[in-house]
Structure 1
Amino acid sequence: MKQQPEELGRKIVVGVAGGIAAYKACHLVRDLKEYGDDVRVVPTDSALRFVGAATFEALSGNPVSTTVFDAVEEVQHVRVGQEAEAIVVAPATADFMARVAAGRADDLLTATLLVATCPVILVPAMHTEMWWNPATRANVSLLRERGIIVMEPAHGRLTGKDTGPGRLPEPEQIAELVRTVLDGQVPKYDWVGKKVLITAGGTQENIDPVRYVGNRSSGRQGYALAEVAVQRGAEVTLIVGNVDELPTPPGARVLPVVSTAEMAAAVAKHAPVQDLVIMAAAVADFRPDTQATAKMKKGRNEDSLQTLSMVENPDILRTLVQDRSAGKIPASTVIVGFAAETGDPEHSALELATQKLGRKGCDLLMCNEVGADKVFGQKRNRGWLLARSEDPASPQVTEIEDGSKQVVAAQILAAVDELRIGQE
């Protein structure tokens, strides 16, 4: 069962243009409906060649129309757009985006968009050559200038044997963006030219070819940060350890690693050219001092599992800060750390995070209170965002209230904006 937001019944219009990816709109409608929102599907005539009106009506519980000449007495081409709290078009084909950019209103969907004053999200899906065509690039740029959110397409298998950017993102990713916007976190396309490095997931330290030491991190928060940063126009590199089966953030470059040492090497390689580094991964603090080449047995000999000798792993976050101080990383690079804390008999999770911020020296630190059914593996997050101050013992603390990990990601990136403004 999905965790539901407090506010339900929001009016969402799902537009569907005529592309093979139209079948994924069915999953998007179901996802939005499962959160209790009121969904109205407005397809184009071409879209109904791929998915019938009866399917959309059954999934949404609302009538489906493509023309302004239906329900004329209700002036539905005006009413649907006026009542919508968000409109998402998935897929949005190259032809459809060209019509929107030109201000056309020759069917119910384009007319609805012209009337709407709510946030509008277009989710492109097309062949790679179409996506990179100068005409499409110009249309996308124009739409973004007008305040329309154009989601980056995914990279993957397209119609036929082609592979490349242009694939429709997964319905779950689209739905999360819609909910993030409805929760008041509307992304601005204002990070164009900025380079962002993010780590995600948990690292694994091998004991032998079969076993490893690890943790419960799912990687969801790091992936959410990557999705939001890409949506703001940044060039995102995502260094990924062990994660749940998550769809790749559209538009992000993903570099897989296994161990903390591998992650440290990847961060050291890419950090010197970044404007922002976010260490959201849950790295292992220790690793076995030796790695067996064969599976270890239960016996009592020296090669058994009864005793493991551990050594400390490199502290990636602290090393980053030290490299910045030494001039190996630009002084303007913002560094954000994460602290997964449980608290102890003497200290709260927030107190431990305050101490960690002082030790690490990063600019911002996101503290999560973790434990059974908290944060790890969940789709929602909460905690405190700590900003470094002149007094290490008294950082600026902002409470991050319970919300989706995309909403939390948007708030963290907004705090980076505030930090940069304060430094100028």
Structure 2
Amino acid sequence: MSILKDKNILLGITAGIAAYKSASIVRLFIKAGANIKVVMTPASKDFITPLTLSTLSKNPVYSSFVDEEDDNNVWNNHVELGLWADLFVIAPATANTMAKMANGVCNNILLATYLSAKCPVYFAPAMDLDMYKHKSTETSFDKLLSYGNKMIPAGTGELASGLVGEGRMAKPEDIVSFIEKDILDQLPLKGKQVLITAGPTYEAIDPVRFIGNHSSGKMGFEIANAAANLGAEVILVTGPTHQKTNHSYISVKPVVSAKEMYNEVHKHYKSSQIAILSAAVADYRPKSVADKKIKKKESTFTIELEKTKDILKSLGEIKKQQFLVGFALETNNEIEYAKGKLESKNLDLIVLNSLQDKGAGFGVSTNKVTFITSSNEIIEHKLKSKAEVAEDLMQQILKQLDA
């Protein structure tokens, strides 16, 4: 999954021959999972039609302040467009438009939107060789970069004039790759490995029966997505679950039993900087497992159980540089028990949720949690989606790491 998934991207198109490549840029952004809107200079419509871009982006295309095809003269609000965008990408960016951007000229909707945007702005220059090398163009580059805009370097090749040299707009796939890399390089967990456990464990009784619990694994998967979206390389060790992820930064390690989870977690712990153990691991397992299905004979049936290895405690005992997070699901004396677990297992943070809270626990899409830190700070959160809880958790971890 691309880091651009679910991003709102505004694509600005100016009047250069490279505008024909804008259709491919839209398609690549859509393929990456982004939401796309297109804003054009009036002259750029001579190079590519709004209909093409509207069809590909599945959104209206904006090229004037007033929708001329609407009898009611609907106003196209450039301020709202600028605020909607998470990213503003101007490709192609002609010498004319860049000069206007650099000097605050605002005579079309694209330029007005640029001046209204609060998000990162990327521009991909496209022009002929002599124009590209002109001192005034270099001045535009310098000014735009000084404002915090980001230039996607032009390539070298055959230009529309027949000259060969610099000024050719970067290839659509290179534009997308440049933006993805730039975003990833700024993420706080770039280069970090985060180890996460999720789901239940199943402890076999015989070949067809097991001891398990109702954990769906959703909370752990949401945490994995949140960590990956911050640039982390995620190792997700998960028990049996129907949850799926296709994030390219998440490596899923499926296991079944507590013993398998213990072994897999320890395999990756030393190389991890953060470990978040959200799995609902069985505390006990059958002492002996029948090799054949147990037949129903007696009116009662007894299974002798033995303790499983405490994965979280074992990590706390060997913890060095790792930031270790545990989860506590309680039904009474929640804060007291969670604090005890935090201390006894040498944790940096524990996430407490109670089965007494409506909307929290297993099998639901929401959760209500309380964070307790190693300095005994208690931070209560209201009921939220598990995705929002995951984001809150990652922000709390970053806050403590920066402290």
- TM-score, reference length from structure 1: 0.62
Structure 1 residues 379 and 352, CA gap change in structure 2 (3 angstroms): same
Counterpart residue type for residue 236 of structure 2:
L
Q: Is it true that 1:141 corresponds to 2:177 in the alignment?
A: no
TM superposition shift of 1:18:
4.2
Counterpart residue type for residue 400 of structure 1:
H
Find the partner of 1:338 among 322, 327, 342: 327
Counterpart of 2:91 in structure 1 is 99
Question: What does 1:307-318 correspond to in 2, within 5 Å?
Answer: 307-318=302-313
Q: Is the 8 A contact 1:337 1:366 kept in 2?
A: yes
Quote the Cα distance in structure 2 between the aligned partners of 1:283 and 1:196. 19
Quote the Cα distance in structure 1 between the aligned partners of 2:267 and 2:195. 11
TM superposition shift of 1:210:
1.5
Counterpart of 1:167 in structure 2 is none
TM superposition shift of 1:308:
1.1
Structure 1 residues 67 and 212, CA gap change in structure 2 (3 angstroms): farther
Provide structure 2 residue ranges, at least 5 long, that are not aligned to the other structure.
1-6, 12-24, 40-49, 102-107, 123-169
Q: Is it true that 1:19 corresponds to 2:27 in the alignment?
A: yes
Residues 284-322 of structure 1 show CA distances to partners (whole Å, capped at 9, x for unaligned) of: 11111122222222112xxx9711111100000000011
SS at the partner of 2:361? coil
SS at the partner of 2:221? helix
Q: Is the 8 A contact 1:279 1:338 kept in 2?
A: yes
Counterpart of 1:292 in structure 2 is 290
Quote the Cα distance in structure 2 between the aligned partners of 1:377 and 1:109. 48
Counterpart residue type for residue 390 of structure 2:
A
TM superposition shift of 1:418:
2.6
TM superposition shift of 1:75:
4.9
Counterpart of 2:257 in structure 1 is 259
Counterpart of 1:376 in structure 2 is 362
Structure 1 residues 211 and 67, CA gap change in structure 2 (3 angstroms): farther
Which range moves more in the overlay, 351-360 or 280-289? 351-360
Q: Is the 8 A contact 1:366 1:383 kept in 2?
A: yes
Structure 1 residues 97 and 288, CA gap change in structure 2 (3 angstroms): farther
Counterpart residue type for residue 341 of structure 1:
E
Quote the Cα distance in structure 1 between the aligned partners of 2:51 and 2:121. 20
Counterpart of 2:276 in structure 1 is 278
Structure 1 residues 98 and 137, CA gap change in structure 2 (3 angstroms): farther
Quote the Cα distance in structure 2 between the aligned partners of 1:101 and 1:221. 43
Q: Is the 8 A contact 1:42 1:109 kept in 2?
A: no
Quote the Cα distance in structure 2 between the aligned partners of 1:121 and 1:216. 46
Residues 371-401 of structure 1 show CA distances to partners (whole Å, capped at 9, x for unaligned) of: 6753212222112111123xxxxx2211122
Counterpart residue type for residue 413 of structure 1:
M
Q: Is the 8 A contact 2:359 2:368 kept in 1?
A: no
CA-based RMSD: 4.0
Q: Is the 8 A contact 2:65 2:109 kept in 1?
A: no
Counterpart residue type for residue 322 of structure 2:
T
Q: Is it true that 1:361 corresponds to 2:401 in the alignment?
A: no
Provide structure 1 residue ranges, at least 5 long, that are not aligned to the other structure.
1-11, 30-39, 57-63, 90-95, 123-129, 146-187, 325-330, 390-394
SS at the partner of 2:288? coil
Matched length:
312
SS at the partner of 1:99? strand
Counterpart of 1:351 in structure 2 is 336
Quote the Cα distance in structure 2 between the aligned partners of 1:231 and 1:416. 14
Find the partner of 2:377 among 396, 405, 408: 396
Counterpart residue type for residue 181 of structure 2:
S
Counterpart residue type for residue 177 of structure 2:
R
Q: Is the 8 A contact 2:218 2:243 kept in 1?
A: no
TM superposition shift of 1:239:
0.7
Quote the Cα distance in structure 1 between the aligned partners of 2:266 and 2:171. 33
The structure having more radius of gyration, on CA atoms, is 2
SS at the partner of 1:19? helix
Question: What does 1:36-51 correspond to in 2, within 5 Å?
Answer: 45-46=51-52, 48-49=54-55
Counterpart of 2:67 in structure 1 is 71
Quote the Cα distance in structure 1 between the aligned partners of 2:384 and 2:121. 21
TM superposition shift of 1:119:
6.1
- TM-score, reference length from structure 2: 0.65
Quote the Cα distance in structure 2 between the aligned partners of 1:120 and 1:288. 56
SS at the partner of 1:255? strand
Quote the Cα distance in structure 2 between the aligned partners of 1:364 and 1:245. 25
TM superposition shift of 1:410:
2.0
TM superposition shift of 1:67:
3.9
Q: Is the 8 A contact 2:193 2:271 kept in 1?
A: yes
Counterpart residue type for residue 346 of structure 2:
G
State the identity %.
27
Counterpart residue type for residue 207 of structure 2:
P
Quote the Cα distance in structure 1 between the aligned partners of 2:292 and 2:221. 34
